[in-house]
Chains A and B, each alone.
Chain A
């Protein structure tokens, strides 16, 4: 008999209020877009924090997005999800982020026709500055922020810079999608179930300069590079494929990768809160100088997630070989350029220009162990 441990009692939520974990307030921006749509159903059905954790959904959109957002909220209600304790729909960031435990920042300004890269950076820096400030003012002080909207790493930097009361370590950009894509490719190449592929690392920027690194990867416990035994494939097929997968999906679907992006966001937050044991997860986090990296760029590195919102960098890692070092360096350089492009929009720079000294703000409790 096919029985599910996801029994109907679980599905309908625990009956005894005493047994129920506290409700998690999740803010999602760009909530009426394709990624938001794919994500919200899975959050509502308990896949972000676990099948017993109730959620309150705080959905943030632009003014134009409020009408389709209404339809999305209708559908969430029509899902009759027992874990959904409330739905807020708003275009006001302070309301959207009010008391949030988790904020997933999906909404971003896409590249329009004739837009230069600098325009894209500026337009998004403006958006994420406002959101960073609202998160600072309204969200819970131990909020965890996952930036999905591109350019994700630099958007995370801008948001964190505008949230002086929140530890920047709590702001992360998403490279889990790239990690999942890389794992999928290794699984196919080696004919292994993806659950037996481990320690695939994404270094750097969530862009075409990312470095999908198999140096430490394992397939059924054996070194992946040995199992694959094909450096040419790794460097000329695997790496470019993962880097450009987004474009490949658009070419095939005629639309961008909403479902897999949403799934990666779910995975990222789930593993952060529920924990994923010894597994390595790629998180784009504020560099603290580890790995010989410049500080204060948001650079994807491998971490372990013991649970409860904590991540720990994987530091017991062999030094990168020459090829890897060069790849890691290229993406580092791009992130430094991106940071330079938005420097003039960061609060410290503004204060510096005005000739005043930045006030010392007390840091909130650190996110990392």
Chain B
């Protein structure tokens, strides 16, 4: 094999999402059957024994494309020469925690990781933030990793995007690959806006068929928002598999390009009136090799504008809180 391995760092590597993601990475499902992968796995010290078990299983997979595996609690080792960083690990929300508390716990984590990435990762590293609050964690990361181009940092909203595709497909009883035109705006939180106003099936608009604005507000948006909780209610565990699949999709689209418009939380550039300084999920075109373009010129109807403004306001508030806490 003449292709050199791509170094992928995954944090929170002993957790449920990583458990699903790592076999996808090792088996060549993300970057393709010709691309070997080196994995750098980062955990907090108490999770190192469990991580050792995860690494044993990776070895037991005899994956031809898995070049090597490093396991560590040291970010400078984990991020060394990383081409890709998947930041799954974050301080989880506990019962009774306010957003401010969640931010307070996560800011130091992402600040420290930002320094380590800036110092040790490849100059061209691409970073996807999964751990919540994803958008604001990404913003903090960008603020403290000045040598990483902002365009090389993103947060995950692909799970919400995929869920939206699945809901449209289910409601119209069509194959999911015939669905297009959906996107996620804003924050990966309860204010996210799953936009189906331009949804198509086999290129034919279906927004009216889906029930128009009323259905979106009353039914569709709450369904997408509550999907995670529904999965937990049924499975008893959170949605690791679909989250991992979304991360794989996000990375594949970002690095290898994508035919269809997808959703990613990227640095806002003023498009659609969203102020700069936040990571906002937009409909994007992935041209390949990390080049991502926000789809411009979409006419935003009044209904959608309300949702987009609300999620933007939340992100501005998170940004203010984060900056205040960092002082």
Contact = CB atoms under 8 A, between A and B. Distances in A.
Contacts of B6: 2
- Most-contacted residue by chain A among B34, B163, B242 (CB, 10 A): B242
Contact of B32 (A6, A47, A68, A194): A6
Q: Tell me if B's interface is mostly helix, strand, loop or mixed.
A: helix
Question: 4 tightest A-B contacts by CB?
Answer: A71-B234, A252-B53, A71-B235, A4-B32
B176 A45 contact: no
Contacts of B288: 1, 3
B275 to A, nearest CB: 31
B31 A4 contact: yes
A258 to B, nearest CB: 8
Given A45-B29, A188-B59, A259-B57, A4 B252 contact: yes
Given A45-B29, A67-B234, A257 B23 contact: no
Interface in A79-133: 79-82, 84-85
Given A4-B31, A195-B64, A74 B230 contact: yes
Interface in A1-48: 1-9, 11-13, 32, 37-38, 40-42, 45, 47
24 contacts: A2-B256, A4-B256, A6-B33, A7-B256, A13-B177, A42-B23, A45-B24, A45-B29, A45-B248, A74-B227, A74-B234, A75-B239, A76-B241, A78-B162, A79-B242, A80-B163, A82-B175, A194-B62, A197-B62, A252-B52, A259-B23, A259-B57, A259-B61, A262-B23
Interface in B13-33: 19-20, 22-24, 27-29, 31-33
A5 B33 CA distance: 7
Interface in B234-257: 234-237, 239, 241-242, 244-246, 248-249, 252-253, 255-257
Contact of B162 (A79, A84, A252): A79
A253 B143 CA distance: 36
Interface residues of A, number: 64
B57 A260 contact: yes
B54 A78 contact: no
A255 B17 CA distance: 15
A155 interface: no
A184 interface: yes
Contact of A78 (B22, B227, B257): B227
Q: Tell me if A's interface is mostly helix, strand, loop or mixed.
A: helix
B313 interface: no
A42 B54 CA distance: 18
Interface of A: 1-9, 11-13, 32, 37-38, 40-42, 45, 47, 67-68, 70-72, 74-82, 84-85, 177, 179-181, 183-184, 187-188, 193-195, 197, 245, 248-249, 251-254, 257-260, 262-264, 266-267
Contacts of A254: 50, 53
Contacts of A179: 62
B34 to A, nearest CB: 6
A257 B57 contact: yes
B62 A180 contact: yes
A5 B236 contact: no
B163 to A, nearest CB: 5
B199 to A, nearest CB: 13
B61 A8 contact: no
Contacts of B176: 77, 80-82, 84
B27 A263 contact: yes
Contact of B60 (A1, A85, A181): A181
A269 to B, nearest CB: 14
A184 B62 contact: yes
Interface in B211-242: 227, 230-237, 239, 241-242
Given A41-B244, A41-B245, A184 B59 contact: yes
A45 B34 CA distance: 17
B260 interface: yes
Contacts of A9: 259
Nearest to B254: A2
B64 A248 contact: no
B162 A80 contact: yes
A75 B242 contact: yes
Given A2-B289, A8-B260, A74-B234, A85 B175 contact: yes
Contacts of A188: 59
Contacts of B29: 6, 42, 45, 47
A4 to B, nearest CB: 3
Given A80-B176, A180-B62, A8 B259 contact: yes
B259 A1 contact: no
B256 A184 contact: no
A68 B245 contact: no
Given A45-B24, A76-B241, A252-B52, 13 more contacts: A3-B32, A4-B255, A8-B253, A74-B230, A74-B231, A75-B241, A76-B242, A80-B163, A180-B62, A183-B62, A253-B53, A259-B23, A267-B62
- Most-contacted residue by chain A among B165, B235, B252 (CB, 10 A): B235
B166 A78 contact: yes
Contacts of B234: 67-68, 70-71, 74
Contacts of B31: 2, 4, 6
A5 B231 contact: no
Interface in B250-289: 252-253, 255-260, 288-289
Nearest to A195: B64
A238 to B, nearest CB: 14
Contacts of A258: 19
Interface in B153-184: 159, 162-163, 165-166, 169-170, 175-177
